[in-house]
Amino acid sequence: MKTVKGPAIFLAQFVGDEEPFNDLISLCKWAKSLGYKGVQIPTWETGLIDVKKLAESKTFADEYKGKIEETGVVITELASHLIGQLVAVHPAYDTMFDAFAPEELHGKPKERQEWAIQQLKYTAKASKNLGLDAHITFSGALMWHTVYPWPQRPAGLVEDGFAELAKLWKPILDEFDENGVDVCYELHPGEDLHDGITYEKFLEATDNHRRARILYDPSHFVLQQLDYLEFIDIYKDYIEAFHVKDAEFNPTGRAGVYGGYESWIDRPGRFRSIGDGQVDFRSIFTKLSQYDIDCWAVLEWECCIKHPEQGAKEGAELISDYIIQVTEKAFDDFAGGGGDTELNKKILGIE
């Protein structure tokens, strides 16, 4: 069995204009001071990272990696959620998702898509040059507007949708394959890959591409009312990344899973700082250890109530407490009597 690595922290929610959040090295030093051992870096934050330069220069990648490691932390993965989202965008969402791309691409969905695909290909090589073997992203969505089937979905719509999604992603997955890096999709409402069934449909559509893997985030499953512990039992062979994020679901007589268009603080389902929600992290860490899943436990802080700096401080402490140092021997070894074939035969009553 392997001990889950950590604690680590996803930097996306902490980037800001004030020190120490306005500079990569300062952010890393801050994370280290809280007890974190790793950082997950968002590739859309161009003030923190230049994936094109990292892809094109191994020397630059070594220098970049070295500066981070000098602070006492390592890079766990690169993350490209906002860029992965732009691989597949239904026209209804074009205006809102333009914000995820450079301004010169706004109003140009085809050019925006091509830019996103190229950025992901750069990220594959950048990850390799940094010595990473996993990457985090979103799938994007062509079918999300049909998730609740009214009006009735035409026959074949879902199959055609996943075929197109796979067509868009396979060249990207192939690029990651050439660079020895897995693509871990965060299964997230709003994405075509948002639960186990949709992941399976995508996997089938990509001919079971060996680089199409899973980032496990139980918070999204709480909000969908999916059994997040059984999910690990089912998909243990595909999970290669882990966001430690809490959530709670408290339905009322007025609203449930869909939330009534309310803000996060008033929704029945909402994300919470870890330890403040309903996620059973001790059971999660037990299963990850039991199944020998080799991953980093990365805090993703999202909470509509608690201050992020308090959440980050508590997160490092809680993840350290949740991590199980796996045993190298059985608890009852002290009572073992040794054995050999002849002894076993005698115990079994075999001549």
Domains in the chain and their CATH numbers? 5-348 (3.20.20.150)
Which residues partner with 242 through β-bridges?
216, 297
How many angstroms separate the CA atoms of 244 and 241, rounded? Answer: 10
What is the C-alpha to C-alpha distance for residues 129 and 54, in angstroms, rounded to an integer? 7
DSSP states of 19-72 as a string? TTTTSHHHHHHHHHHHT--EEEEETT-TTT--HHHHHH-HHHHHHHHHHHHHTT
pLDDT-based confidence at residue 351 (cuts at 50, 70, 90): confident
Phi then psi for 301, rounded to 5 degrees? -85, 120
Confidence of residue 339 (pLDDT cuts 50, 70, 90): confident
DSSP-assigned beta bridge partners for residue 299:
9, 244
- Chain Cα centroid distance, residue 18: 27
How far lies 178's CA from each of 51, 133, 311, in Å?
17, 12, 38
Give the whole-number percent of the chain exceeding pLDDT 70.
98
Report how far apart, in Å, the C-alpha atoms of 168 and of each of 81, 107, 113, 182, 193 are.
Answer: 16, 20, 10, 17, 14
Query: What mean pLDDT, rounded, does the chain reach?
Result: 96
Band of residue 329 on the pLDDT scale cut at 50, 70, 90: confident
HSE-up of 169 (CA within 13 Å, CB side)?
36
C-alpha angle with apex 12: 285 to 42, nearest 5 degrees? 95
- pLDDT tens readout for residues 263-306: 999 999 999 999 999 999 999 999 999 999 999 999 999 999 99
Q: List, for residues 89-133, the tens digit of each pLDDT value.
A: 999 999 999 999 999 999 999 999 999 999 999 999 999 999 999
Whether residue 271 contacts residue 243, with contact meaning beta carbons closer than 8 Å, is answered with no
Could you give the residue ranges of the DSSP H alpha helices within the chain? 24-34, 51-56, 58-70, 81-85, 94-97, 109-129, 157-178, 196-205, 218-224, 228-235, 281-290, 308-322, 341-348
CA 14 – CA 193 distance, rounded (Å): 26
Cβ neighbours around 66 below 10 Å, total: 9
pTM above 0.85, yes or no: yes
Task: Check: CB of residue 218 under 8 Å from CB of residue 279.
Answer: yes
pLDDT above 80 (res 5)? yes
pLDDT, tens digit (0-9, with 9 covering 90-100), for 186-199: 999 999 999 999 99
Amino acid 334: pLDDT: 59
Tens of pLDDT, residue by residue over 125-164, are 999 999 999 999 999 999 999 999 999 999 999 999 999 9
pLDDT (mean) for 3-10: 98
The answer to whether residues 251 and 258 touch, using CB atoms and an 8 Å cutoff, is no
CA 309 to chain centre: 21
User: What pLDDT does 276 receive?
Assistant: 98
Tokens of residue 7, six digits: 């604690």
